[in-house]
């Protein structure tokens, strides 16, 4: 017998890009009967509410999450503002889809994870790339043992600096964010998802800050290694200080996975569809008038086509709504996995700061 879907009253905390994208998907889902929005910017709140047909709008996330209609929540605020909405949703026992990371401070992430697990709330975290076909196909080859025992993973991420500038401008604590914590975590999550049976024991990294340091007290790039108890090595690097004219609207990524029985390489640089124009277009993260060439598809949520978002964030949101309504199993990152990713990125930053290897796992005060 087909399972009857639970009805969903969806509270969306934060109506920025991601809140809008997920809200538009939710507005078309058959199980969603009610949508409420909490957004501090009243003009933005009205705009998004009109586009998704929201039933309730407020500037106070506490007011929204207390509404009796709310039965599930999406936490889509700026990265450094996740903690209080998460804790408020836990008080109501609401299942959640939380944008990564759980928190930007490791001590807060420990506290949030403890609260989630103690409450028993079904909270998952938005590592959207798990819903792209190429990463799922690679996961299946690793899962089924086609490569044998994995001995080495390597990833290289290059990012347009518009992402970094936007993040540093929005933060009142630039020391808590970094290319690893905010953006490198996506590649790291994919690699650690593939290596989920292995135990990381030590981290080593170096960083530089010649571009973003003088302007925002930020970090340009970090390169490092994560060492595992069985001798496996994950080598990773990310720079989010590439020029604004770098053609990737957000990122380009290359990953290699080597095992005892095979090797798998994934080109996610998006150089297969190149857009060149005479006047600026609305492609990408934060369009800039100097950007006239784009690697289309490099914006992680997906692409707008025929008036709708197409791509991994749409699939991820639909999958989560099915998880809530039908109890369906999904490949979303758990809160514990998300905490692990934050701890690893913090360990990489800490190693770079200390200029020495760092044992893993970290304690709450190690950052």
What tokens were used for 316?
A: 């991820």
| Fold match flag (8-127+316-331 vs 130-300+342-353) | no
Q: Give every CB contact of residue 42 below 8 A, 6+ residues apart in sequence.
A: 59
What tokens were used for 346?
A: 């913090």
d(CA 209, CA 215): 10
Q: Give every CB contact of residue 217 below 8 A, 6+ residues apart in sequence.
A: 168, 174, 175
d(CA 298, CA 271): 9
Consecutive 10-residue averages of pLDDT for the chain (367 residues): 84 96 97 98 97 98 98 95 97 97 94 98 97 97 98 97 89 85 94 97 98 94 98 98 92 96 97 91 68 90 89 97 97 98 96 98 89
Is 56:32 a contact under the CB 8 Å cutoff? no
First to last CA, the chain: 51
Listing DSSP states for 279-303 in one string gives S--S-SSS--TT--EEETT-STT-E
Element (H, E) at 156: strand 150-160
Instruction: Note the pLDDT of residue 282.
Output: 66
- Architecture of the domain made up of 130-300+342-353: 2-Layer Sandwich (3.30)
Instruction: Note the pLDDT of residue 367.
Output: 79
For the chain, give every domain's residue range.
8-127+316-331, 130-300+342-353
Instruction: Note the pLDDT of residue 288.
Output: 80
Instruction: Give the Å distances, CA to CA, from 260 to 147, 201, 232, 264.
Output: 6, 21, 11, 12
Helix (H, G, I), strand (E, B), or coil: what is residue 168? helix
Instruction: Give the Å distances, CA to CA, from 263 to 143, 149, 231, 365.
Output: 14, 11, 17, 38
Instruction: Note the pLDDT of residue 5.
Output: 85
Instruction: Note the pLDDT of residue 281.
Output: 72
What tokens were used for 23?
A: 């809200």
What tokens were used for 19?
A: 């809140």
Q: Does domain 8-127+316-331 have CATH number 2.40.30.110?
A: no
Instruction: Note the pLDDT of residue 1.
Output: 54
Instruction: Note the pLDDT of residue 283.
Output: 58
Is 206:227 a contact under the CB 8 Å cutoff? no
Listing DSSP states for 304-352 in one string gives EETTEEESHHHHHHHHHHHHHHH-----PEEHHHHHHHHHHHHHHHHHH
Q: Which of 256, 103, 140 is nearest to 191 (CA)?
A: 256
What tokens were used for 202?
A: 């030590």
What tokens were used for 282?
A: 């609305």
């Amino acid at each position: 017998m087909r399972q009857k879907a639970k009805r969903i009253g969806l509270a969306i905390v934060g109506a920025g890009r991601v809140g809008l994208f997920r809200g538009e998907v939710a507005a078309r889902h058959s199980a969603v009967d009610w949508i409420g929005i909490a957004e501090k910017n009243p003009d933005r709140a009205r705009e998004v509410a009109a586009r998704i047909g929201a039933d309730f709008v407020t500037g106070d996330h506490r007011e929204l999450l207390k509404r009796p209609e709310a039965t599930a929540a999406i936490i889509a605020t700026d990265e450094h503002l996740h903690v209080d909405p998460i804790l408020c949703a836990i008080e109501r026992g609401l299942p959640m889809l939380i944008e990564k990371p759980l928190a930007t401070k490791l001590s807060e992430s420990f506290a949030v994870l403890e609260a989630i697990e103690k409450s028993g709330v079904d909270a998952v975290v938005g590592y959207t790339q798990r819903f792209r076909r190429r990463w799922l196909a690679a996961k299946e080859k690793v899962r089924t043992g086609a490569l044998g025992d994995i001995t080495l993973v390597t990833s290289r991420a290059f990012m347009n600096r518009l992402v970094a500038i936007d993040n540093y401008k929005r933060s009142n604590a630039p020391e808590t964010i970094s290319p690893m914590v905010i953006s490198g975590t996506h590649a790291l999550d994919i690699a650690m998802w593939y290596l989920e049976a292995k135990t990381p024991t030590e981290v080593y990294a170096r960083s530089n800050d010649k571009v973003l340091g003088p302007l925002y007290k930020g970090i340009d790039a970090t390169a490092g290694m994560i060492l595992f108890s069985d001798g496996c090595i994950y080598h990773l690097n990310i720079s989010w200080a590439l020029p604004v004219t770098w053609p990737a609207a957000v990122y380009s990524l290359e990953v290699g996975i080597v095992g005892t029985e095979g090797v798998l390489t994934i080109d996610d640089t998006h150089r297969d569809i190149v857009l060149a124009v005479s006047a600026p277009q609305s492609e990408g993260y934060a369009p800039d008038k100097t950007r006239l060439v784009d690697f289309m598809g490099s914006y992680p949520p997906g692409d707008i086509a025929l008036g709708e978002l197409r791509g991994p964030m749409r699939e991820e949101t639909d999958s989560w709504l099915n998880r809530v309504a039908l109890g369906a199993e999904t490949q979303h990152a758990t809160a514990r996995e998300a905490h692990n990713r934050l701890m690893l990125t913090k360990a990489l930053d800490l190693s770079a700061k200390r200029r020495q290897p760092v044992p893993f796992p970290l304690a709450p005060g190690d950052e």
